[in-house]
Amino acid sequence: MHFQTWQDKAGNAPALTDPTNGLVFPNLSNHGEGLAPNRIMPEPTVFLDRKFASCSILRPTETVGAAVAAVNGLAASGLFAGQSQEFFTAATALAEAADAATRS
């Protein structure tokens, strides 16, 4: 039902700004097919191998520095509270390697 609600209602919402905190919900209908309002929810896809369970993949529209930004965002959220400095060093190194990776 969540997807249907988004598809039918929220995906077509006009741009608006919350007057209490300035949060902006942009008009999503002016960005072409890649960001069509009814296509921003995750969709089931095959991931890595067909014998794995179906999952949804969120693909970012910008990828430069995305892995490092994700690690930094998760760390700032407190998700990794209590982890050692070695954990953060390793996670950051993995993220930097992911950001530097290319397809061949």
**4-51 residue pLDDT tens:** 665 556 666 778 888 999 888 777 666 665 556 656 555 566 666 777
Cα–Cα distance, 65 to 63 (Å, whole number): 6
Q: What is the pLDDT of residue 51?
A: 77
Cα–Cα distance, 24 to 65 (Å, whole number): 24
Q: Are 97 and 65 in contact (CB under 8 A)?
A: no
Token output for 89: 């060093």
CA distances from 7 to 11, 36, 39, 75, 101 (A): 5, 10, 8, 32, 34
Q: What is the pLDDT of residue 72?
A: 94
Token output for 70: 């994700």
Express as a percent the part of the chain with pLDDT over 90.
Answer: 35
Q: What is the pLDDT of residue 49?
A: 72
